[in-house]
Structure formats: C-alpha cells, structure tokens
Amino acid sequence: MPGGRCHPSGRGRPDPGRRHAERRAHGVRRRHADVRRHPPDPPAGRRLPRVSMRTGRPDPSRVAPRKADGVGVLLTVVSATLFGAVVVLGKVATRPGGLPVPSLLAYRFGLATVVLAALLAALRLPLTPARGEATRLAALGMFLYAGDAAMFFTALRHGSVAAVTLLFYTYPVCVSMLAWVLGRGRPGWLLGGALASAVAGAAIVAIGGRGVSIDGLGAFLAIGAALSISLYFVGAEAVLRRTNSLTGAMWVSAWAALGLAAFALATGAASVPHGGRQWALVLGMGVFTSGAFVCLFGGLRRLGAVRTAILSTAEPLAAVTLAAIFLDEVVRAGTLVGGALIVVGAIAASVARGQTRSEPPIH
C-alpha cells in the first residue's frame, strides 16, 4: 500500500497493530469531542473553568460566575459611594452664596456627557441611540431626569443629607407600585410589606420628632424627586429596547444638561462658577457622576437589575456617612429608625419586582 505499512507476507493487507492504534486514536478524538459538547459535572464544592466551545480549552475571555459576581458587587458599591459623594458635594455647592441649582446641575451633566462620550469612543461603543429611540431619550432626560435632579438638590437646601437621601430612596417602592398599576406585575405580600415599611420610614424621617432635620418643603421636594425618577425608570423600561445602556446614559445626561441650562436662562438663574472652590465642586460632581454611571452599568452587566438595585441601597448609607464625616451632620435617632425602614422597604420592593418580572437584558 503506497505510503503505508504492509503485511509481512507482502500481500498488501494492513498491519493489525496499525489498525489497533488508529482505532484507539479515533476513540480518543471522539471522547474529546464529547467532553467539549457535554462537559462532565464538577466534583462537589468545585467549579470547572469555563471552556471554549471551539477549542475545548479554558477560555480566559469568559469570567467565572463567582469572580463576575464579586466584581459586580464591588462595582455597584463603588457606584453607590460615588453617588453619595455627589450628594455631599451638591449640599456644599447649594449653600447660600453658591451656584443656583439649575446652573450647577447643567454644568454637572454637561461635564458627565463629555466624559461618557470619550469613554464610549475609547471602547468603540455606539455614540448614537438606536433608530426611533432618540426622541424618547430626549423626553426622559430633559423632563423626568432633569426634574428629579432639580427637586433633589433643591431639597438639600431645606434639610440634611440624611433626611433628603432617605426620603428619596422610597423610589424603589414607587417603581414597583407603578409597574403594578400599569399591569406589569402583580401585588403580593412582599410588595405590600415594602410599601408599609417605606411609608412608615418616610413618615418618621419627615416628622422627626424633636430637632426636625428637614422642613415641609424639603420633604415635599424629596418625595417629588422620588416620584420623578420612578416615572423615568418605568418609562425607560417601556420605551428603550435597543440602545446601549452607556449610550443611553450619555444622551440622558446631555438632554438633562440642555433642559436645565434652558431653564436657568429662562428664569435668570444662569451663573458661571467663580473661584477655584466652585469649579472644584462642579468638576468633582461631573467626574463622580460619570464614574458612578460606568460602575453602575458594569454592575448591571454582571449581576442583573434586581441584585444591582438591592446593592444600590448602599447609596443612602454612603451619603449619610460622608455627610457625617465631612459636613459634621448629626444623624438623629428618628432618621436612623426611619432610614432603616426605608432601606428594608427598598430591598423588599426590588426582590418583589424580581419575582413578578424577569430581568431585562442589559446591553
């Protein structure tokens, strides 16, 4: 046989030893192919590395679930801390003699837009929204998101960081209730308990007993901000389907900046930062906002919407802690008790929403 080994008799029959070796090699190849298609179950308490479906070898580009969860938790906590830092900087910036709220927020969101656009370009992600969703992003950013921010930072002029932030954090319950009203979920004992806990906590924080830490207008604005951001979340989930999340964040930030700038010009509240201190506050708020957006969407990719929402309840804790450290704000007993009830309600609402609706895909 050309190119092969012949039987010693010279009659051209294949060598049995070679045939046996070929069968063994064929069996090994089949077993390797089976392992690639159907990997064996890992031993108890041990995870096998993720493998490539093409080569059957460990694929470093695919992060193991446990590691991805850890990174997601870290990113979400960092995001919450950065948002808390933005609140503290905003409290300082809106003190008497500081920038008007519309001007401050226009600079904040304008700077955040520039940073996010640069990041999108560096990552080669789309800079434009999906077809048909640009107008929806404009409405969400210019009205709901800008309105939420304006009410929240105006409320900081009428109350402590702790009181305003905790009242604002009734919004997860508002989101769940709005979803139920719109037929996107069903009420249950968990959602009812979340609502009761959040309402009780908000009442305790707002009333506060002796030494009230927020006045009536501040409480009204903080709860108004919570309702506005709730409408934003429900609206975004309903109308934004194909736009990349980070791209959407950039355009929401851009439209919010434009809307707030127009409002500042129309009301005579337009102002330019003076001195290094005001510029430092504006730059800090813009950079921290951008970093918080990036970390938040990184957490969403790894953990999903429900777990990210639960971990984001670290934001009130971060804001209260930073305000106590840098602003010497005293946290009263009523604020602590009411805040604990609000956070419990926010977590319960996030869990209840996860039970009634599957997590949306994160792009």
Dist. CA 6–CA 185, nearest whole Å: 75
Q: 332 Cβ partners below 8 Å, 6+ apart?
A: 208, 209, 211, 213
CA 201 to chain CA centroid, Å, is: 24
How large a percentage of the chain has pLDDT more than 70?
Answer: 76
Residue linked to tokens 């959407």: 248
The winner for highest mean pLDDT among 207-211, 288-292, 305-309 is: 288-292
* Contact in structure between 273 and 99 (CB atoms under 8 Å): yes
**Which residue in the block uniquely carries the two structure tokens 């009205």?**
143
State both tokens at 84: 């808390």
How confident is the model at residue 10, as a pLDDT? 46
Amino acid of residue 335: T
Average of per-residue pLDDT values in the chain: 81
CA distance 168 to 132: 32
| Closest C-alpha to 355, from 232, 189, 158, 139 | 189
pLDDT at residue 34 above 50?
Answer: no
Q: What residues have CB less than 8 Å from 359, skipping those under 6 apart?
A: 304, 305, 306
> Three-state DSSP class for 159?
strand
The letter for the amino acid at 353 is R
Residue that has been written with the tokens 């990997």 in this structure: 39
Q: What's the pLDDT band for 229 if we cut at 50, 70, 90?
A: very high
Helix/strand/coil for 71: helix
Q: How many CA atoms within 13 Å lie on the side-chain side of 21?
A: 6
Instruction: Give the domain ranges of the chain.
Output: 1-61, 76-356
- pLDDT grade, residue 36 (50/70/90)? very low
- CB < 8 Å & 24+ apart, contacts of 128-136: 128/247, 129/243, 129/247, 129/248, 129/251, 130/241, 130/242, 130/243, 133/239, 133/240, 133/241, 133/242, 133/243, 134/251, 136/235, 136/239, 136/240
pLDDT band at 333 (very low <50, low <70, confident <90, very high): confident
For residue range 40-83, what is the model confidence (pLDDT) as tens digits? Answer: 444 433 444 444 444 444 444 444 556 668 898 999 999 999 99
**CA 320/CA 162 separation, integer angstroms:** 5
| DSSP secondary structure of 169-180 | TTHHHHHHHHHH
Evaluate if residue 254 carries a pLDDT over 90. yes
CA 147 to chain centre: 19
CA distance 354 to 188: 12
Phi/psi at 124 (5° precision): 60, 40
Q: How far apart are CA 334 and CA 43, in angstroms?
A: 51
User: Smallest Cα–Cα separation from 285: which of 134, 94, 128?
Assistant: 94
- For residue 37, pLDDT over 60 is answered with no
Rounded distance, CA 164 to CA 318, Å? 13
CA–CA separation, 181 vs 173, rounded Å?
12
Query: What's the rounded Cα separation, in Å, for the pair 164 and 144?
Result: 18
pLDDT of residue 303: 84
pLDDT(341) > 70: yes
| Comparison of pLDDT for 22 and 161, the residue scoring more | 161
Q: Could you tell me if 165 and 317 are in contact, meaning their C-beta atoms sit under 8 angstroms apart?
A: no
Q: What is the pLDDT of residues 143-190, one digit of tens each?
A: 999 999 999 999 999 999 999 999 999 998 888 888 888 887 666 788
